[in-house]
Amino acid sequence: MIRSDIIRGHLDSIILRLILEKDRYGYEISKEISLRTDNRFQIKEATLYAVFQRLEKKELIESYLGGVSQGGKRKYYKITMLGKAYLNEIVTEWKELKEIIDLFLEG
């Protein structure tokens, strides 16, 4: 299991990346994270919705209601132009950071 404090600082970019691929709803995102990490990382629902609120406030994502499923309308999230620009910056930063840390930790 990955220590949540290590990954916490990267949740915004992970979620933005998943929403960049296609518009998604909350449960779908948490399932996708579990799936892609082979259950090594799972995001709590409360954490996920806190990230959505933060990203919406910064205008990096927008939400809209989708069609009715299992009795209610799902809230979907889509990335904005600002969100795409922000994600590009984060990816560039991450690559640099990864190179530097690899220099020391990869031996």
Give CA 52 to chain center in angstroms: 9
pLDDT tens readout for residues 14-25: 999 999 999 999
Residue 27's CATH number: 1.10.10.10
Number of structural domains the chain divides into: 1
pTM attached to this predicted model: 0.87
DSSP states of 43-103: --HHHHHHHHHHHHHTTSEEEEEEEEETTEEEEEEEE-HHHHHHHHHHHHHHHHHHHHHHH
> 73 lies in which domain range?
4-105
Q: For the chain, what percent of residues have pLDDT higher than 90?
A: 76
| pLDDT single digits (tens) 64-79 | 998 777 778 899 999 9
**CA 18/CA 33 separation, integer angstroms:** 9
